[in-house]
Chains A and B, each alone.
Chain A
Amino acid sequence: MASNDLPQFASTDTRLSRRVINVLHGNPTIIPLFVLVLGLAVFSSVVGQRFFHPFNLSLVLQQVTIIGTVALAQTLIILTAGIDLSVGAIVVLSSVAMGRLAMDHDLPPGLALALGIAVGSGCGALNGFFVTMIRLPPFIVTLGTWSVFNALIQFWSGGETIRQQEIEASAPVLQWTGEALRMGAARLTIGSLLMLLLAGLLWYVLNRTAYGRHVYAVGNDPNAARLSGIATRKVLFTVYLLAGTICGFAGWLLIGRIGAISPLGGAMTNLDSITAVVIGGTSLFGGRGSIIGTLIGALIVGFFRNGLALAGLDVLWQEFTIGFLIIIAVSFDQWLRRIST
């Protein structure tokens, strides 16, 4: 399989299989993109016109806004071969913080918003501290902080929901992300736009800056990264900090999406975000994957749920199908890793 021509540095192995593998290595988003297109084709033929109706498309985009944003944060973590089980709790804790600071403490809504996002950053920094300074496995750290953050949510909210009307009256800026721009039949929310903007920003950081390359290198081979002069712990810490901040931001989007601030929202966010990342072709073993893949992964989840629902199937088949997609995606990643070494 390996070529022996070092000085020429030319690959003598030009077999199609090898070339395909090389392309897949260089472009990890091809497979998820293929699944998305295939899914769209199948659903549109089964469901018919309703599926591609602009209203339905924009609805799916709204439905994946929170998951998509959290999945962007999760992508950063998983690229470093970590995992964050506390993301869902950070999202809710941040939204509770925004609401309580604005309502109970009468802070200006803008300041409450900023502080709420800062709460997310603080949560991320705490995860990062345990992972990089105490050197605990991310799985255990975030399992622990998930519980801690959930307790804080209950403590701070008193288990009570802040109703839509209350927010509307005193802190409407918190609901701004739920406002929609109408374009024909499509309803594009500010939240969806912000998610896409954030994805663009993260794409730039990961692909066009040295920091981004270092995130990949740290996840790929931490020893190699350190020997190349990369401050691996600093990179890791900032990744958790950034992920926490993005989750805090997602807390704002969550308020826009559901209108109210509920201590119970976002229970499924943890697993759904990991699902989107994995289906989007990012490797759980780190160093391999992309932001665009994650967006596609979130859309696949969204469109499969939506398509299966429109086709009149029971909700249980949505979970059933998505479960299989996860397993197929991980198997594929395993296969790609095995043949390369």
Chain B
Amino acid sequence: MMARPVTNPEPVLKARGLVKSFGRVVAMDGADFDLMPGEILAVIGDNGAGKSTMISALAGAVRPDAGEIFLGGEKVAFHSPMDARSKGIETVFQGLALAPALTIVDNLFLGREYRVPGVRGGLFRLLDRPRMREEARKHLSDLGLMTIQNIDQVVETLSGGQRQGVAVARACAFGSKVVILDEPTAALGVKESRKVLDLIKDVRDRGIAIVLISHNMPHVFEIADRVHIHRLGRRVAVVRPSEMTMSDAVAIMTGAMEPPAGQPAD
């Protein structure tokens, strides 16, 4: 047994040989995945390359037919998104998964509300609203998302960027290890995209590893530490934005160019 080199730490989230088919369509064909601690890993791939399926498997929304997923070195099997969430993997789905008619506080705590201690919370199921509001305010200001005049504002009255902000705040508010962001800037204008990218870097700097799925190459190359390139249901390369041009990455993604030799390393 050899000691692991210090330069090669254990991935926070790792997958080996994931397979998933839907009928005759093979969405994942032996996909591998490595997310290192404290990094932003972008996942790029053409439409239909199976990256959504892989992300869904990592988020617990899809159960792979074969293959293994490791969280912090430990083998895991997720039965639902809630399951993945309870183990520290938070996902901001493209649809945001916010309930528009509920308030910001309600949304932040949706599905994991606090109840007041004692009989009032136990027997009468009374919500601890003051505590939730206080924590909501704290999370939002930690991320520089304050101050909203009113955290009791309903989410549908917020702009797209503000909603994304709430969704990201929710994802990293509960001691999560990994945050998966699915196309976080897809629906946003230039100015709002910029703010969301800053927010993502900010979350990374707080020590949370981030998986970023995006079609926007300039965004990917601006904030990603490494780029995972997906093609035909599997990972074909992992590159550093500093070592490769955007057009080469796109060429590998579309199959116009062979991936660099020795890639992907296991």
Give residues in A with beta carbon < 8 Å to B: 2-4, 6-11, 21-22, 25-26, 204-205, 208-211, 213-214, 216-217, 220-221, 223-230, 287-288, 340-341
**Of the residues B101, B115, B191, contact of A288 by C-beta under 8 Å:** B101
Q: Given the known A-B contacts A26-B153, A217-B102, A340-B157, are A223 and B162 also in contact in the complex, defined by CB atoms under 8 Å?
A: no
Kindly state whether residue B145 has any CB partner on chain A within 8 Å: yes
Residues in chain A near residue B199, CB distance under 8 A: 6-7
Cα distance A178–B91 when bound, in Å?
54
CB-CB under 8 A from A214, the residues of chain B are 110-111
Which residues 87-106 of B sit at the A interface, judged by CB distance below 8 A? Answer: 91, 93, 95-103, 106
- Indicate if B247 sits at the interface (CB-CB under 8 A): no
Contacts of A217 in B (CB 8 A): 99, 102, 106, 110
**Contact flag A229-B125 (CB < 8 Å), given A4-B189, A6-B165, A224-B99:** no
Instruction: Give B125-147 as 1s and 0s: 1 = Cβ < 8 Å from A's Cβ atoms.
Output: 11101000000000010001111
Residues of A within 8 Å of B100, CB to CB, are 220-221, 287, 340-341
Contact B162 A228 (CB under 8 A): no
Query: Contacts A2-B160, A25-B154 hold; do A9 and B99 have CB atoms under 8 A apart?
Result: no
In the complex, what residues of A have CB within 8 A of residue B127's CB?
208-210, 213
Closest chain A CB from B66 CB (angstroms): 25
Report if B196 contacts A (CB, 8 A): yes
Rounded to whole Å, the gap between the CB of A242 and the closest CB of chain B is 14
Contact, CB under 8 Å: B97 / A228: yes
A213 x B113 contact (CB < 8 A): yes
- CA distance in complex: A223, B96 (Å): 10
Instruction: Please tell me which one of the listed residues B115, B156, B161, B164 contacts residue A341 in the complex, with CB atoms under 8 A apart.
Output: B156
> How long is the Cα–Cα vector from A220 to B126 in the complex, in angstroms?
22
Of the candidates B99, B112, B161, B165, which one forms a contact with A221 in the assembled complex, judged by CB atoms under 8 Å apart? B99
The reply to whether B97 and A3 form a contact with Cβ atoms under 8 Å apart is no
Instruction: Please measure, in the bound complex, the distance between the C-alpha atom of A4 and the C-alpha atom of B161, giving whole angstroms.
Output: 7
Residues of B within 8 A of A (CB): 61, 80-82, 85, 91, 93, 95-103, 106, 110-113, 115, 124-127, 129, 140, 144-149, 152-154, 156-162, 164-165, 189, 191-192, 195-196, 198-199
- Measured CA separation A341–B158 after assembly (Å): 9
Across the interface, B196 reaches (CB within 8 A) one of A2, A6, A22, namely: A6
Residue pair B106, A6 in contact (C-beta under 8 Å): no
Contacts A26-B152, A340-B157: A6 and B115 contacting too (C-beta < 8 A)?
Answer: no
Q: Which of A7, A8, A223, A225 contacts B110, CB < 8 Å? A: A225
Task: Pick the residue among A4, A10, A220, A341 that contacts B102 (CB under 8 A).
Answer: A220
Q: Is the contact region of chain B dominated by helix, strand, or loop, or is it mixed?
A: loop
A289: nearest residue on chain B (CB-CB)?
B101
Q: Are B99 and A10 in contact (CB under 8 A)?
A: no
Knowing A4-B159, A9-B148, A217-B110, say if A224 contacts B101 (CB, 8 Å): no
Residue of A nearest to B166 (CB): A9
State in angstroms the CA–CA spacing of A6 and B146 once bound together.
9
Bound: A295/B146 CA distance, A: 37
* B162 contacts across to A, CB distance below 8 A: 3, 6, 9
Complex CA distance for A221 and B163, rounded to whole angstroms: 15
Nearest Cβ in chain A — how far from B20, in angstroms?
Answer: 19
Contact B159 A229 (CB under 8 A): no
What CA separation (Å) do A167 and B149 show in the bound complex? 60
B157-A22 in contact (CB<8A)? yes
Contacts of B165 in A (CB 8 A): 6, 9
When the two chains form the complex, which single residue of B106, B157, B158, B189 contacts A21, counting CB atoms closer than 8 Å?
Answer: B157
Q: Are B99 and A225 in contact (CB under 8 A)?
A: yes
**Min distance, Cβ A335 to any Cβ of chain B, angstroms:** 14
Is the pair A216, B102 in contact by a Cβ cutoff of 8 Å?
Answer: yes
Question: Are the C-beta atoms of B110 and A230 separated by less than 8 Å?
Answer: yes
What residue in chain B is nearest A9 (Cβ atoms)?
Answer: B148
Knowing A224-B99, A340-B100 are in contact, say whether A210-B125 is a contact too (CB < 8 A): yes
Within the complex, what minimum Cβ distance (angstroms) separates A26 from chain B? Answer: 6
The answer on a CB contact under 8 Å between B85 and A229 is yes
Tell me, in angstroms, the Cα distance from A333 to B127 when the chains sit together: 29
The smallest beta-carbon distance between A197 and chain B, in angstroms, is 15
CB closest chain-B residue, reference A213: B106
The residues of A that contact B111 with a CB separation of less than 8 Å are 214, 225, 228-230
Q: State A22–B152 Cα separation when bound (angstroms).
A: 11
Partner among B96, B148, B154, B159 whose Cβ is within 8 Å of the Cβ of A2:
B159
With a CB–CB cut-off of 8 A, which chain A residues contact B82? 229
Nearest A residue (CB) for B196: A6
Check if A287 sits within 8 Å of B192, measured CB to CB.
no
Cβ-defined contact, B160 with A340, below 8 A? no
Are A229 and B81 in contact, CB atoms less than 8 angstroms apart? yes
- CB neighbours (8 Å) of B129 from chain A are 208
Contact A3 to B159, CB < 8 A, known contacts A9-B165, A224-B99: yes
Most chain-B CB neighbours within 10 Å: which of A6, A220, A287?
A: A6
Q: How far is the CA of A256 from the CA of B170 in the complex (A)?
A: 50
Give the residues in chain B near A204, CB-CB below 8 Å. 124
